[in-house]
Structure 1
Amino acid sequence: MNRARPIEALLAALATTAVTLPVTTLFTPNTWMRPSIVLVAVVALTGAGLRTLTSQRPLVVLGQSTALVYAAALLHGRGHLWADLVPTPETGKAFGILLTQAGETVAISAAPAPSNRGTILGISLLVGLTALAVDAIGVTYRSPALAGIPLLAAFLGSATNSGDGLAPWYAVPAALCWLALMGRQSVGSLRAWGTPAPRAGGRAGADPSTSFAATGRIVGVAALAAAVVVPTLIPHLPTTFIADGLGQSSNGRGGGGSSIQLSSTVDIARDLESRSDNPVLRYRSSSQDLQPLRVGVLDDYRRGQWQARQEFSFVPIDGQIPPPIAGPEVPRRVERIEVSDNAVGAPQVALPAGTISTSLPDGTWNVTVAGVVQATTAADSYTAEFIELDPEPGQFATGPDASQLGVDPSTLALDRRSEDEVRALLAELTDDGDSALEVAQAVQAYLRSSQFTYSLELAQDDGTLPSDPLLRFLETRRGYCVQFSTAMIMLTRAAGIPSRMAVGFLPGVADGDDRVVRVSDAHAWPELYFPQLGWVRFEPTPATQSNAAPDYSLEASDPAATATPTPSATTPTASAAPSTAPTRDLTDNGGMGAVDTGGFSPVRFVTDNALTLLGILVVVLAVSAVPFGAWLSRRRAARAARDDAERVEAQWQSLLLRLQDIGYVPPDGTTPRQASRQITKAAYLTPDEDQALGRVVATVELARYARPGTELHDVADDAQTVWRGALGRRRRVDKVRALLLPAEGRGLWRSILRFSRPGPADKDTDE
């Protein structure tokens, strides 16, 4: 047997990959999958190669561990590698920070938790370690039954954190791969016992493992079917959660059916990958000045990420929500919104800021201290009343000391890594003596100007850009609504104006008397606090990619003050985290954006998909390596032949090896003529193919027994005719195995790896 055990290694890798399927319900988006699959492939390929070179099992496992760590460093340690290739102690420190971040994310987030750099690193490392354990136990140490332990641990670690019961297809693929791994190992062990004498009436030469394998398949499939069916028929205990953070949701996938949720964290360093036109809700509003529908508030900014502080909520008395703090001197209107088709999952509720009442049933909702309505049970439809303010410029005064406004100090906090640059930029944009409104207007006008470019893809770090994502955005002036909002919040905080980020949806597009909001309408915008008004919305994202900016936020010289485009059915309105499916987390840790209109660029496509293309190339090379080795082996044998007799003999041996690949194995010691009769009968050769085989045999006999120097014709074409005829009558699985794993190719690569000369008689050997 081949010591590399490529089939067993492939089954172990597939089992590890399949066992991670439940993780797709716990994190969103599934950006962790690609690096995880790469690490699984690295472990499998490294193990196969090392097993070929050495029989020392600890060395194989040590080599796989080293390759796993190095591959993880290349995938996740960019910017922390010496010469972009060699891990250093700084790489370990960076990994520690990211893993700490992952732990914090899991601890504070309900499923589905956001996929940030930390969680992606943590998940891919766990998957890679699982692949290492399964390959080492099941393939290197040849104990596939015990390999089920790390597979089961990995499966339970994610499955038990899902609020709902998982569908059978989450478990079946991994179970089938594990059963196949055990079955292959067991059949190999049975064959090693020897071949007993056939029973009377039995077929001579029958493989005794065939009936054993068939019985094993029946038992394995029956057991798997029972494991899937029985739990649906009997009651079971409630789910026990391993991680409290992921277990906070009553539904681990963020709501049932096609519900939508926005993430409670936003990473401003992330690009966008996709967008969806799935509808979120349908509503009508009495307001003529439509504003975004808010579902959450993020006020804590740390290391490039926004998140909501853990704050308490309360149930309003008589169902009345506290109105805005603005006094009666501020002009206002009471408007109404009627939502007829809601797909926003609990606890989030899409409502305009300033909501004062709602029709949600008593006991199913509450309000946070930030004024955000939350639902304990999602409602298909609801109505609400809200107040729209129309403030005058003089009502935006902040007073002499903004730190005494009674708001949380975190809404004035600046990030230390960017504080100096932010204050310097603020000094360039404003003058001493500017009012708070003038500061906010100047900052918004600067960000909405033509100096900035709206793009779903952030500028890539080429070694010259700042590592801090906010500073990188301010230098490259390229980003989407998350970056624009973050920049305005930090600039206004530097001016002493409390600021925070709101997340929700743009007003959507008209559909008759209704308006339809889609996934691609997800959006983020800043809210600034003024003592006489409370929290007020601003809009720094460029006008073509956001809703119209409020009139009070526009400078008198701002062209948008007289003509600001509003979203339409043909105007892109997305600036938030899109999702490839309606059950995914939309903000994607900052995933917000619209359609990229930059056109197709081959160079950019290759750059953006380098890892995927590299993976495809590796797969193609791996699949073609053995067939190429077979072709190369025949070429080498033909060149090494000193005369026609050696050339014909090499062609005959090559034909025998290829026929052995599909099961036609003449007994040892048979002559070419005897072998041809057995091959003709077993392979059901046609008359033409039989004649071709006869010519090959006649030439071989002439080569062996004729006088040296006798001229012999080439039998390559006849040998190819026989090979194709025999191959065409075999089962599809035998054809694929013969084409992808020919014995000639395996022998060549094995001889190269062992630094010895290959020969046609080189056979598979085990340890």
Structure 2
Amino acid sequence: MTGGRWRLIATPLIAIAAGLGMGGLSGLVVFGDWLRPVGAVLGATAAVVVLARLATGRPFLPTVAGALAGAWLIIVAYVPGPDGGTTWIPRGETLSQLREVAEHAYWYAQNSVPPAEVEASLAGAITLAVVALFLVVDAFAVGAGFAASSGFILLAPWLPALTLERRVPTLALAGALGAWLAVIALSRRSDRGSWRSRARDGASPAAPAAALAATAATLLVALVAAPLAIGGPGWGAMPRLTLPASLGGGARLDLEIDLRNSLTEQSATPVLTYTSDSGKVDVLRGFALATFDGTRWDRDPLGDTAPATGVLWPEDTGSPLIADPGTVSIQMGSKGQDRVLVPSAPRSLVAGSEWRYDASTDEVLIDRPEGTANLRYTVRQALDFHTEESLRAADPLIEDGGDAAVSPRYLDLNERIDIDKVRQVAQTVTSQATDRYETAILLQEYLRGPSFEYSTEVTPTGDDAVSTFLADGRGYCVHFATAMVVMARTLDIPARMAIGFLGGAQDGDGFVVRGRDAHAWPELYFPGHGWVRFEPTPAQQTGQRPSYAEPETTEPTDPELLETVRPTNAPERQLPTAAPTAAPAPTADEAGGFPWLAVLGLAALAVVAAAAALWARRRSRADAITDAESAWATMRRRLGDRAGDDTLTPAETELWILAEGPDLGDDARAALGELRAAVEDARYAPAASTVDAEVLEGWVDAVAHAAREAERGAQTRG
């Protein structure tokens, strides 16, 4: 085939290959309806390229036209206007909105646990990458005539799968390979001479019938074939992947479900509705997690199950059901699971033979193909089962070995955790407790106190997420619950984490529970009474404490005691004894060589622009010393490489600075020690730091000046 026709047919084939390249994300994201908008933008962009190639003989002008069209379509589809509506005409503020979307996509990608649900900003970033891949390959293969070599660029989206040795969807990979081979076959008569001559060959417009057929084929394959191939039959059989922390931008609390996604304003989708004759329920419990390795929770192993009849509770309540039970009628949504959501108290329900109960995990299972999807059921719960009196009554049983009734795994502590430091904090916080109930209340109130802040925008690092959280004081429900579980275990109290939903919001005569109501909480064991929920998460997420967990007025823990128990962020890090050697230059794959730059060029520009703006804002505020934290950040910036890695704790940073480079002198060493103590107080002591800003600034100047003079002296002597 000669003339412009082969080029018009090659363009939709390249669109197919680019769209199927999303199959390389297997295991990293959850494929679903978001594929169709991606296909729509890709198809429309490819159609513009085909139509532009009909109107001009210039080889690369169609690529420019397609890039402009694709950029506009991405803005329309994924970048909201200032009022939240569609941005049909880009304006001055569009760039700012685009930057916000890029920042959110970058943050979401860095902090989501694979396989992640794809929300709007991440879908926009993927769309940008796919459209960029198509345009680069089309310009390279059709515009410049390098059809065979373009296959190396098409390989780029599959590199994560090849690097991590993951399985990929065979249909998608075969389709991409077949499309590329077809492009090579179509260009076989235009493979001689220079690239300029090959580009000019056949650049004249094709017949209208051929142009119409090519445009229709482009839209068809990009809108239908690619999304169906990626999400088609057999996709659910592909294995899911959990990335190690080193590949995910730092360790995080990694659950089988990622609660952070549900806790943001992006997740307003209803999960279930219910009515209750006793008002809103506290929580609806799904399942339990027992094993924690420092960053990741694993599900409780399933124990022996029995028919879900009678009173469902881990301990014998001594009666068919507590008097005056409350009734809750639940209607599940269309997204099902295999665990039935029930109140966190003794309960009973009308169940068929497919309903089972596991007392060891306090989970209700249902064996039906669709799980709990669209399930309607009624639960009768024991109201006010937990009381202060009943929980205190469990204390005498502890001395008689009552904890032996539960598995010893509920006391396990992974060696990655700085156990001694966490135990010191727990013992100091609970020093006034006289029984297990008071111990639990003091742990709960410590975490709900002013030293901690609720935030879903956290990126902890290292292998010990508990110590990081206790040091930084910022996190969401998973962090608060995990900290209380681990602190309780250091005090020899069996504890575990439970996952479910808060009671939701009133909607007419009933209540609606949405994705953002997803919640995690700790459960502590009380012999003879069972597993008891406590609420360490601050009120902006959980609301009121359980009625039995309301604390009495007590004297605060002595600040001087807490000052001596500061957890470290990186207990396993070894301090350097000599100057570090220069790191080897990264390989092309590690640094994002030519294929990645070609595929993600436009996406990288948006991310770099957002990162540059954030860096500029932070740098402009770097010298404004108002407290110990800002003084510490300013000192680290002024020292540069001599300050070491930013994951070092203050104490580790001090040792690094003293070991790195020439001696600072006695005065500077003293100033560094004072500054380190001030920032530790600010982070760990309940009373925080009380050092004046002028004093902090003087310490920073002393350290920075001494370091600068020491370096100059060393250079002079050298």
Query: What TM-score does the superposition give when structure 1 sets the normalisation length?
Result: 0.46
Higher radius of gyration, 1 or 2? 1
Query: What TM-score does the superposition give when structure 2 sets the normalisation length?
Result: 0.48
